[in-house]
Amino acid sequence: MSLIARFAMLLTATSSLAVAQNDRMTPISIPNQPGAIVLGTGKLPEATADESWHSQYGRQFARNVSIATLTPFLPSKSKATGAAVIVAPGGGFRTLSMENEGWNVAKALAKRGVAAFVLKYRLNPTPADMPGFEASMRQMFSGTARRPPATTDPAEALAPQKADATAAFQLIRSRAKEWNIDPAKVGMIGFSAGAMLTMSTTLYSAEAKPAFIGNIYGPLNAVKAPNDAPPLFVALAADDPFFANAGFGLIESWKAAKRPVEFHLFEQGGHGFGMYNKETTSTGWFESFAAWLKMRGYIK
C-alpha cells in the first residue's frame, strides 16, 4: 500500500475515532504558544482558511495550519544532556493533537534533560467552520470524498510536511550552542500521522539525518532501511484498529539492515493513547522510551 493510500486510510480512521468516542469537537480561541518559531517554509499554497483550534477528549487540537512553527521546551542547563527531540503530533494530516501528542510529550522529555521541540507542521485544508469540518470528516468516512492523486514515489508524498521537519532539524542544529544541544544528538518522535512523517523524513530527506527516531502507533509497513538507518523505537497496541493487523514489516526491515530497533507491542491501548493516563499498560510507553534513550546515552 502506498504512503498516500495509508494517508487516506488514516483520514478515515480519524473520523471513525471521533464518532466512536462520541466526544464533540468544540471551537476554542487559538492558545498562546510562547516561544514558537516560524520555520520559514512558507504558507501552504492551497490554504483556504485561517488556522483554528478546538478541544476534544479534554485536549487541544489545531487545524488548517498553513504556516509551520517549532516550539522549544528546554531543560535547565544543569539537567541538559545535549540530546534533542523533534516531536511530531498526529491527526491524519487534517488536525494536530498539540497537547496530548505534542506539548505534554515535550514537557516530559525536558524534565529528563532532553531538549524537546514541538513541530506544528502544515496540514491539508479543511472547511473553516466546525459544522463544515465535521461534514467533511463524515464524507471522508463514507468514502465519497475526493482523494489526493496517488503517487508511486513515496519520496514525493508529504512534501510540505517533510520540508517543515527538515527545516526544524536545520534550525535546531544552527542554534545548538545557544540551546545546549549536541548537533549529532538530534532525534525525532512522531505519533500516528506524525510517525508517518518521522519515517518519511528519515527515509527521504537527505538533510535531516536524525540520530534516533520513535514511531508511536504509526504504520509498520516494510521499507528499504538504509545501511545507516538511525536506532528505532516503536510502540503499538495490539488492539489498535488501524495499524495492528498489517504485520510488522518495519521491524523486520530494520533487523534486515542490522540496525538497532526496539519494539513494544502492548496488549491494549487502542489508537492515540499518547500521554493520556489510561488503565492499560500502553500508558507505560513513555517510561520505556525514556529508558531506551538512557540506554543509548541520551539521558543521564
> What residue ranges do the domains of the chain occupy?
3-295
- Name, in order, each residue with C-beta under 8 angstroms of 145's C-beta and a sequence gap of 6 or more: 11, 136, 139
- For 64, 161, 197, 233, the CA distances from 211, given in Å and listed in that order, are 30, 19, 16, 12
For the residues 115-127, what does the mean pLDDT come to? 97
- Tens digits of per-residue pLDDT, 271-280? 999 999 999 9
- Tens digits of per-residue pLDDT, 237-276? 999 999 999 999 999 999 999 999 999 999 999 999 999 9
Position 201 pLDDT exceeds 80: yes
d(C-alpha 269, C-alpha 264), whole Å: 12
By the 8 A CB rule, do 189 and 86 touch?
yes
Report CA 167 to chain centroid distance, whole Å: 15
Instruction: Label residue 30 exposed, middle or buried (CB < 10 Å: 0-12, 13-18, 19+).
Output: exposed
- Tens digits of per-residue pLDDT, 46-99? 999 999 999 999 999 999 999 999 999 999 999 999 999 999 999 999 999 999
By the 8 A CB rule, do 295 and 212 touch?
no
Quickly count helices (H) and strands (E) in the chain. Answer: 7, 12
* DSSP-derived 3-state class of residue 139: helix
- Per-residue model confidence (pLDDT) at position 155: 78
pLDDT band at 154 (very low <50, low <70, confident <90, very high): confident
For the residues 8-29, what does the mean pLDDT come to? 58
- Per-residue model confidence (pLDDT) at position 156: 87
- Per-residue model confidence (pLDDT) at position 6: 45
- Per-residue model confidence (pLDDT) at position 19: 36
Position 143 pLDDT exceeds 70: no
Position 7 pLDDT exceeds 50: no
- Tens digits of per-residue pLDDT, 288-297? 999 999 999 9
Position 3 pLDDT exceeds 80: no
pLDDT band at 147 (very low <50, low <70, confident <90, very high): low
Which CATH number is 3-295 given? Answer: 3.40.50.1820
By the 8 A CB rule, do 271 and 17 touch?
yes
Position 151 pLDDT exceeds 70: no
- Per-residue model confidence (pLDDT) at position 136: 84
Position 29 pLDDT exceeds 60: yes
Position 17 pLDDT exceeds 70: no
